[in-house]
Amino acid sequence: MPQPHLRTVVVLAAGEGKRMKSALPKVLHPLLGRTLLGHVLTAAAPLAADRTVVVVGHGAEQVRAHLTEIAPDAAPVLQAQQLGTGHAVRIALEAVPEAAGTVVVINGDVPLLRAETVAALVAAHEGEGAAATVLAAEVPDPTGLGRIVRGAAGRLEQIVEERDATPAQRALREINAGIYAFDAVRLRDALGKLSTDNDQGEEYLTDVFGLLVSAGEPVGVHVAADHVETLGCNDRVELAGLRRLLRDRVNEAWMRTGVSILDPETTWIDVTATVERDAVIDQNTQLRGTTVVGAQAVVGPDVTLIDTVVGPAATVLRSHAVGAEVGPGASVGPYAYLRPAARLAEKSKVGTFVEVKNSEVGPGAKVPHLSYVGDATIGAKANIGAATIFVNYDGVNKHRTVVGEAAFIGCDTSLIAPVEVGAGAYVAAGSAISQDVPPGALGVTRAPQRSIEGWVARKRAGTASAAAAERALAEGASADTPVAREGEAMHGDAETVGRPSAAGDTATE
């Protein structure tokens, strides 16, 4: 049985990342759901290290604050001056004098690194009993990277930085990925011997390898199967390239579990989101944060979901949702905006140009068109007519509105909170409701209509309206044209108001 190994993970994150040209430290730039640093820590997590040290420097306060959020067990160690990667590891180890066994060092800017690859590196290192093992990769373009220099027998001799390399060494395409496993004792010893005799005048961690080789210590090279994992990030162009690569990796993984992604190039799924089997993700869709899309749901085209749960068989079309819940079989959009704590129950509907915030829309309830629903509870099967506004804010406080089960709210209604419309109650179109409507009652606030005959002919003479009116009156058409009269068509939707026969029609057709 192999001995359990003590392990320490050291993440190097003190560099500025000059070429990012950013107020944000490089390692805090986001990439599909995690920061660069978050991705690296996630890749290291399965090592179950006894301790994780993150070397911070540039933007130390921001990086510390981020660590408190995402990895409270990781210990930040300050490297006040960035005197090189060797210096950074030396400072890290000084902060953990008890660290023994294996020390895994990872550059903070390699976000595509997989946990399996780190684990394989560490297993190879521990299996060989090596003093140090470096993760290497054959890359198409090694520009700017440290080269793996091997001797006649193919064994590693040293790692040379590009700026210190001979032309022959520069021609090598096997590079140092910036991920290493070391034996703690031998690492400490070698770090004490580093010089700054190089082009940058820095203490290079990579020089540890040459020192160990000279001392006759066994060092190893573990070659990554896929060089893409070792890609670093130095500027925003590279960051965008990494984002595309990660997008493809994530999309491919979901497709292999039975998710349909209709246009993988325009589908961006955070590594933290989840999609269940037989869901269909249509083009131009982003699933961000803790979003979950249920089985057989259809999401997209043109949808952004942030921290939103979509139930099985629900549909979300051309919409934006943040912190919302869409129940099983519910329908959202096109053009809906769901804000935090919008909770849509099973088979409910939130339609076109509807915004919902901090509200429950009950099972089978419908808010089909042009409405704002804020701080409301809408009962099962209630029907909210077009252009209903839940007036929740008095300028100082927010208030709740309750609409009972199977209540029917006519179009263009304001429900002025706090207010309650009882179960099965109706509200007439165009009403401003500020008092509770009892169950089964009709609530109506309506000024009587006046039609001032001949007004257009007198006040708008010479217009197209006047001419049309004149023709209509001459043809006697007015007699055949239905006109809304008081007491009729109070509740129909936008399409049906004006036709008496449609009074009481559903507002959702």
Residue nearest to Mg ion (CB): 232
How far apart, in whole angstroms, are the C-alpha atoms of residue 379 and residue 345? 10
Catalytic hit among 29, 87, 227, 369 = 369
User: Cα dihedral sign for 143, 145, 146, 152?
Assistant: negative
Residue 257 in contact with residue 293, Cβ under 8 Å? no
**What minimum distance in Å lies between the beta carbon of 145 and Mg ion?**
8
For residue 298, give the nearest of 345, 260, 347, 348 by alpha carbon: 260
> Is 164 strand, coil or helix?
helix
Q: Which does 159 bind (CB under 5 to 8 A by kind): ligand UD1, Mg ion, none?
A: ligand UD1
- The answer for 239, left when phi > 0, alpha when psi is -120 to 50, beta otherwise, is alpha
Q: Which does 322 bind (CB under 5 to 8 A by kind): ligand UD1, Mg ion, none?
A: none
Nearer to ligand UD1, 86 or 323 (CB): 86
**What minimum distance in Å lies between the beta carbon of 137 and Mg ion?**
14
Residue nearest to ligand UD1 (CB): 146
Q: Which does 15 bind (CB under 5 to 8 A by kind): Mg ion, ligand UD1, none?
A: ligand UD1
* Binding-site size, Mg ion (CB under 5 A): 1
Nearer to ligand UD1, 206 or 308 (CB): 206
Nearer to Mg ion, 86 or 232 (CB): 232
219 pairs with which residues across the strands?
132
How far apart, in whole angstroms, are the C-alpha atoms of residue 11 and residue 386? 55
How far apart, in whole angstroms, are the C-alpha atoms of residue 141 and residue 161? 14
**What minimum distance in Å lies between the beta carbon of 269 and ligand UD1?**
26
Q: Which does 77 bind (CB under 5 to 8 A by kind): ligand UD1, Mg ion, none?
A: none
Nearer to ligand UD1, 197 or 480 (CB): 197
How far apart, in whole angstroms, are the C-alpha atoms of residue 190 and residue 187? 5
Q: Which does 355 bind (CB under 5 to 8 A by kind): ligand UD1, Mg ion, none?
A: none
Q: What is the CA radius of gyration of the chain?
A: 33
**What minimum distance in Å lies between the beta carbon of 211 and Mg ion?**
22
Which distant-in-sequence residues (6+ apart) come within 8 Å of 242 by Cβ? 31, 111, 112, 231, 233
How far apart, in whole angstroms, are the C-alpha atoms of residue 13 and residue 279? 38
Nearer to ligand UD1, 92 or 427 (CB): 92
Residue 9 in contact with residue 106, Cβ under 8 Å? yes
Is 369 one of the annotated active-site residues of the chain?
yes
Q: Which does 359 bind (CB under 5 to 8 A by kind): ligand UD1, Mg ion, none?
A: none
Nearer to ligand UD1, 88 or 314 (CB): 88
Nearer to Mg ion, 206 or 431 (CB): 206
Residue 282 in contact with residue 265, Cβ under 8 Å? no
Nearer to ligand UD1, 15 or 351 (CB): 15
Name the packing angle between helices 85-95 and 184-191 (round to 10°).
Answer: 120
**Mask of contacts with Mg ion, 167-186, x by CB under 5 A?**
--------------------
Q: Which does 14 bind (CB under 5 to 8 A by kind): Mg ion, ligand UD1, none?
A: ligand UD1
**What minimum distance in Å lies between the beta carbon of 17 and Mg ion?**
8
DSSP state of 219: E
How far apart, in whole angstroms, are the C-alpha atoms of residue 499 and residue 118? 71
Residue 354 in contact with residue 371, Cβ under 8 Å? yes
332 pairs with which residues across the strands?
316, 350
Nearer to Mg ion, 123 or 165 (CB): 165
**What minimum distance in Å lies between the beta carbon of 22 and ligand UD1?**
13
**What minimum distance in Å lies between the beta carbon of 40 and Mg ion?**
13
**What minimum distance in Å lies between the beta carbon of 1 and ligand UD1?**
35
Distance of CA 200 to the CA centre of its chain: 39
Residue 108 in contact with residue 17, Cβ under 8 Å? no
**Mask of contacts with Mg ion, 53-92, x by CB under 5 A?**
----------------------------------------
| Number of neighbours of residue 7 by Cβ within 10 angstroms | 22
**Mask of contacts with Mg ion, 222-241, x by CB under 5 A?**
----------x---------
**What minimum distance in Å lies between the beta carbon of 50 and ligand UD1?**
21
Q: Which does 210 bind (CB under 5 to 8 A by kind): Mg ion, ligand UD1, none?
A: none
Question: Footprint of Mg ion on residues 230-289 (CB under 5 A)?
Answer: 232
Q: Which does 87 bind (CB under 5 to 8 A by kind): Mg ion, ligand UD1, none?
A: ligand UD1
Residue 411 in contact with residue 430, Cβ under 8 Å? yes
Ranges assigned E (strand) in 58-146:
75-78, 102-107, 132-138
| Cis ω for the linkage preceding 264 (within 30 of 0) | no
| Number of neighbours of residue 472 by Cβ within 10 angstroms | 12
Which stretches of the chain bind ligand UD1, using CB under 6 A?
12-15, 55, 57, 79, 82-85, 87-88, 107-109, 145-146, 159, 161, 175-178, 204-206, 232
Which distant-in-sequence residues (6+ apart) come within 8 Å of 447 by Cβ? none
Active site residues: 369
The binding site for Mg ion (CB under 5 A) comprises: 232
